[in-house]
Structure 1
Amino acid sequence: MYLGLDLGTSGLKALIVDQNGAPVATAHAQYDVSQPHPNWSEQDPDEWVKACGAVFDQLRKNHPTEFTNIRAISLSGHMHGAVVVDIYGKPIRPCILWNDMRSETEAAQLDKDPDFRAISGNIVFPGFTAPKLMWMKKHEPDLFDHVHKVLLPKDYLLYWLTNRYVTDMSDAAGSSWLDVGKRAWSETLLTASGMRIDQMPDLIEGSQIAGILNSKIAQKFGLQNDIKIIAGGADNAVAACGVGAAQEGQGFVSLGTSGVLLAAKNGYHPAPETAVHTFCHAIPERWYQMGVMLSATNSLNWLANSLNTTPEELSKLCAGPITGPSKVMFLPYLSGERTPHNDADIGGAFIGLKSDTTSSDLCQAVMEGVSFALRDCLEALKSTGTELNEVLAIGGGTKSEFWLDTLSTILGLRLALPDKGDFGAALGAARLAMIGDGADIETTLVAPTIAKRISPNTQLQSKYEAAYQRFRKLYPLIKEAS
């Protein structure tokens, strides 16, 4: 048996698979996000440890045979977070999360240094790790002086499991400290941001062994003493492993809290000027590119909360086949935007509200606005030479067929819905555990069974294209008015 752990922003998922990669047991534990100030987003890393213990207890109680026969464990985790620990391995402060925007000034300062785009292959975004440490040095100097190691979120769980400071290439690629082409820490970038290479964890591939399970943890939960802990990777890279997106031309679109359009790459071809992310994959000698928009299902959550309803009830207002674009347009920049604007300050907006505008109109506008923003990501990817004809569709937003029809038509891409789409990153982590235990990469990272394919509505495509062109013109106007 193999265990995949997916450390999400709001909860930890666990998935056990058998030797054939088939899911056999699951568990889940939740935790909260703290927002003590505007644009701040933090979590206590020890809450992740508690959550991991909770899912271990659930699996031990509900699936004892499968749990006690685990041979290897691997992890997926949300990217860019800064977990800073002292010489004793204790967190100095709460983790600064990926969607924390406090270090905008520091990110802009680093991004002006041409070495960062040239070496890391990416713009330095405010959500990345390096500017967070620069912010700490400026605003929390006493805490900064005690930084022994900087870990990515999942790597704090790796440390708990193994007593080793280890990270993988895909997670390190989102720190702004990695030479993404060479797959190595860059002393140039570390020095430029006031850090040292000895403050970084050991760097290995996501499918390699990070260590052996801590004997005290094994004893506490009734596990074997020789369980391999495999490094794992960043959530999107590991989700790509879960859906079999490992080769050129394969990719997925994710309608989660944020929206992602990802394409696997067999080579390293950065284009930071497009605000496309170019990162190492979780497997050796592969990379991936992705466009990211920051508020996908989160936009629908916001609207539902504003209307005192639930996202599920709100989505029911948009049912049946699509009939054409809404008269209302929504700009989904509730948390700023990454691709293609790299703008932490931009805000969202509704355009075209009338006295007869309904909740259904607003819901449709939100779904279309998110889809238009993902089209922006697709256009940025195309500008780097990426070609996609079909992508897998994953994430909570895929429960809405109306949204999927809208998205497929706006992107001009066929969407493939996995038969079992709930375990993307957790399944990817379990697959990396299998590979770390000796399984072949190519035969393990296979695409899932497809339950359904959704094609663009060719009769309405020109209308949605015209709406998208109007959407593109709105960003500079909103920016000027902000």
Structure 2
Amino acid sequence: MTYVLGLDLGTSALKGLVVDKNGQVVAEASHSYPMDTPEIGYSEQNPLSWIEAADQVIEDLVSKLPELTDSLEGISFSGQMHSLVLLDEKHEPLRPAILWNDVRTTKQCKKINETMGDTILKREKNIALEGFTLPKILWVQENEPEIWKEVKQIQLPKDYLRFWFTDNFAMDYSDAAGTLMLNQDNKTWDTELLEAWAVPASILPPLVESSTVVGVMKPELKERFGFSRDIKIIAGGADNACAALGSGVVKAGTGLCSIGTSGVFLKYEDKVDRDYQGKLHVFYHGMENTAYSMGVTLSAGNSLNWFKNTFAKNQPFEELLSEIDTVPIGCDGLLFSPYIVGERTPYTDSQIRGSFIGIDTHHQLKDFTRSVLEGITFSLKDSQRIIEAVADEKIEKLVSVGGGAKNKSWLQMQANIFDTPIVTLKTEQGPGLGAAMLAAVGCQWFSDLRECADQFVAYKEAVQPQPQQVERYKKVYARYRKIYSATKELCHQYFSQIEN
């Protein structure tokens, strides 16, 4: 039996999945690392901690599965998007990586959007937001010019980790699309944009497809881990692209609803030229010449966690959610907007804040709990509404993963609010499985990722929308959509007072 390894470089930990040719996960390991917040709004990480984690994960996997030393064929990667890694001429990090969730770059985003916003939206298919890589580069140029002078290579996290394995630089299209420097029309670095912002093209890596073999494991690492054969190192993809792969979102009419700390609503796109006017992200997929559109709810599971910790701290989640089916749709007029840290889609508003609307004396904990779940799902519905209106294409199957997939009542709620059949995965492994799939295709186990998904991804029975409930939810959702405009001015006034 031979194996591939998918390494998922997340914000808090590196996870490794060893997968066989049947798509079965035969071993897994993880190693965590810290995130630093030196100032309010800052989020940084030491890139060397990713290497230490990879070293430990592979040692752990070899210990659990000794035959891996003779049977591992390839390694590929999934990684947190956007985060900026700056290397010097010796290929060593010049400073901690500035992570995707760092929000220090508001001024730089404003400058980019005011000067080149239309051009970037046309070619890069997105607008400048704090999470993207280009604004982080501008911040370093303006605030740490002595460091910028020393930069010889720009990397994203998984690419820096992969460089450690091979000494070869590369970046796949799915991750490059999240830098805001990739011209997605012609799949090249945008030279006009780079010149405008004084970013030398020479410090950006070559671009490759996600399933491309970019090298083999360096002899010293091969000897260190005891591998007997040459290990192919495959490019890999951005975490959302790999999550879509690992969920089987590789065909028209399929989408993904992921409810973690944040929430993602994602749709497979045959082409990258879909024009959402910046209301949604559009990025290259891990599959060649395909894309995905994506909306983001900043506080999805985070809203539920906040609610539980604030109002039902000592109740297990199972107990907290146990009575939601006794509450009618719409919670007798009670609505929740999950804007507790601002919102991304469709408003891109850092100053909006959450609300409970319609509180009545008869409302109990179970009513508030259900309203939180409905509000989170309505927020993701906002992304679905934009996707289906612009694409003029209904999503026929939606894969639900994360916290929203773990409760039967919430799954039925999703099916009814999205008016779409919902499936869950028999084995949910997240972006790590997508990375393993890229390794499998890179090792030529399969002709393409669709064939691989047919073997690697299996679903439980679908949860179907209930027509009467769908109609009732349409009325409640129409009320929910009015919350933002009704509360925006109040929230913005508060922040204006603080700033003054």
Q: TM-score range by the shorter chain?
A: over 0.9
Total equivalences in the alignment:
480
Residue 44 of structure 1 aligns with which residue? 46
Q: Residue 3 of structure 1 aligns to which amino acid in structure 2? A: L
Q: Which residue number in structure 1 is paired with residue 11 of structure 2? A: 9
Counterparts of 2:48 and 2:261, CA distance in 1:
23
Q: How does 1:347-362 map to 2 (within 5 A)?
A: 347-353=353-359, 358-362=364-368
1:397-416, aligned counterparts within 5 Å?
397-416=404-423
Cα drift, residue 419 of structure 1: 1.0
For the Cα contact (< 8 Å) 2:70–2:229, is it kept in 1? no
Distance 1:90 1:309 in 2: 45
1:390 and 2:394 are equivalent in the alignment: no
TM-superposed deviation, 1:171: 0.4
Task: Please give the per-residue CA displacement for 1:58-78, whole angstroms capped at 9, x wherever unaligned.
Answer: 111111113541110000111
Residues 102-111 or 345-354, more deviating? 345-354
**1:299 is matched with which residue?**
303
Equivalent residue letter for 1:465 = K
Which residue of 84, 87, 99 corresponds with 2:86?
Answer: 84
The answer for the alignment partner of 1:240 in structure 2 is 244
The reply on whether 1:314 has 2:323 as its aligned counterpart is no
Aligned-residue offset at 1:274: 4.8
In the alignment, does 2:219 pair up with 1:215? Answer: yes
SS at match of 1:453: coil
Q: Which runs of 5+ in 1 are unaligned?
A: none
Instruction: Tell me by how many angstroms 1:314 deviates.
Output: 3.3
1:324 equivalenced with 2:329 (yes/no): yes
Distance 2:243 2:13 in 1: 16
Compare 71-80 and 315-324 and name the one that shifted more: 315-324
Aligned partner of residue 350 in structure 2, secondary structure: coil
- Which stretch of structure 1 is more off in the superposition, 342-351 or 159-168? 342-351
Give the match's secondary structure for 1:32: coil
- Structure 1: distance between partners of 2:365 and 2:133: 39
Change (3 A) 1:160 1:293: same
Q: Does structure 2 conserve the Cα–Cα contact (< 8 Å) formed by 1:122 and 1:271? A: no
- 1:241 maps to a residue whose letter is L
In structure 2, what is the Cα distance between the partners aligned to 1:362 and 1:146?
Answer: 54
Query: In the alignment, residue 473 of structure 2 is paired with which amino acid?
Result: Y
Give 3-state SS (helix, strand or coil) of 2:322's partner: coil
In the TM superposition, residue 103 of structure 1 has moved relative to its aligned partner by 0.9
**1:52 Cα shift?**
1.3
Give the Cα separation in 2 of the matches to 1:188 and 1:355. 60
2:282 aligned to which of 272, 278, 283: 278
Give 1:40 deviation, angstroms.
2.2
CA contact (8 A) 1:134 1:194 kept: no
Q: Find the partner of 2:447 among 440, 451, 459.
A: 440
What SS does the corresponding residue of 1:454 show, helix, strand or coil? Answer: coil
Aligned match of 1:375: 381
Matched residues in 2 for 1:471 and 1:274: separation? 23
CA distance in 2, matches of 1:28, 1:79: 19
**Alignment deviations for residues 133-159 of structure 1 (CA, whole Å, 9 cap, x no partner):** 111222222222222222112111111
8 Å contact from structure 1 (residues 101, 344) kept in 2: no
Identity %: 36
- Cα deviation for residue 356 of structure 1 reads 6.3
**Quick one: distance in 1 between partners of 2:400 and 2:271?**
24
Residue 104 of structure 1 contacts residue 344 of structure 1 at CA under 8 Å; is this kept in 2? no
Query: Cα deviation per residue 1:4-60 (whole Å; 9 max; x = unaligned)?
Result: 111122222211111232221111222233233222222222222222122112111
Once the 2 structures are TM-superposed, how far is the Cα of residue 101 of structure 1 from its aligned partner?
1.6
- The answer to whether the aligner puts 1:451 opposite 2:460 as a matched pair is yes
Where structure 2 has 5 or more consecutive residues not aligned to the other structure, the ranges are 492-500
Instruction: Give the superposition deviation at 1:183.
Output: 1.4
TM-score w.r.t. the length of structure 2 is 0.91
Match for residue 473 of structure 2 among 456, 464, 480: 464
1:381 aligned partner, one-letter code: I
More displaced 10-residue stretch of structure 1: 429-438 or 220-229: 220-229
Distance 1:14 1:456 in 2: 36
- Do the aligned partners of residues 32 and 362 (structure 1) sit closer, same or farther apart at CA in structure 2, a change above 3 Å counting? farther
How far does the alpha carbon of each residue in 1:207-245 deviate from its partner, in whole angstroms, 9 at most, with x for none? Answer: 001221122222222224511110010011111221222
Q: Distance in 1 between matches of 2:365 and 2:196?
A: 50
Any idea what the Cα deviations from partners look like across 1:417-460, whole Å, max 9, x if unmatched?
11112x13111111110111112113112272221311223333
The residue number in structure 2 matching 1:108 is: 110
Residue 485 of structure 2 is matched in structure 1 by 476
Contact 1:107 / 1:126 at 8 angstroms: preserved in 2? yes
Q: Partner letter of residue 460 of structure 1?
A: Q
- Preserved contact between residue 211 and residue 441 of structure 2 (Cα < 8 Å): yes
**What is the CA deviation profile of residues 84-123 of structure 1, one whole-angstrom value per residue up to 9, with x for unaligned ones?**
2222222222222222221122112212312111110112
Range 20-29 or range 359-368, more displaced: 359-368
CA contact (8 A) 1:319 1:402 kept: no
Q: What amino acid does structure 2 have at the position aligned with 1:444? A: C
| Higher Rg | 2
SS at match of 1:269: coil
Cα distance change of structure 1 residues 379 and 432 upon mapping to structure 2, 3 Å threshold = same
Q: 1:425 corresponds to which residue?
A: 431
CA separation in 1, counterparts of 2:415 and 2:6?
30
Deviation of the 1:354 alpha carbon: 5.3
8 Å CA contact retained: 1:4, 1:14: yes
Instruction: Name the aligned partner's letter for residue 356 of structure 2.
Output: F
CA distance in 1, matches of 2:214, 2:468: 52
Decide which of 122, 143, 160 is 1:139's aligned counterpart.
Answer: 143
**Stretch moving more, 243-252 or 373-382:** 243-252
What CA distance in whole angstroms lies between the structure 2 residues aligned with 1:275 and 1:190? Answer: 24
Contact 1:275–1:338 at 8 Å: present in 2 too?
A: no
Amino acid at match of 1:95: A
SS in structure 2 of the partner of residue 71 of structure 1: strand
2-side partners of 1:352 and 1:242: how far apart? Answer: 40
Q: Over aligned residues, Cα RMSD in angstroms?
A: 2.0
Q: Does the residue aligned with 2:48 lie in a helix, a strand or coil?
A: helix
- Write the mapping of 1:191-230 to structure 2, written as runs, cut at 5 A: 191-224=195-228, 226-230=230-234
Provide closer, same or farther for how the CA distance between residues 18 and 53 of structure 1 changes in structure 2, counting only shifts above 3 A: same
- Asked if residue 345 in structure 1 is aligned to residue 345 in structure 2, the reply is no
Letter of the 2:54 partner, please give it: C
Query: Distance in 1 between the 2:303 and 2:69 partners?
Result: 38
Q: Distance in 1 between matches of 2:311 and 2:105?
A: 32
Contact 1:299 1:334 in 2 (8 A): yes
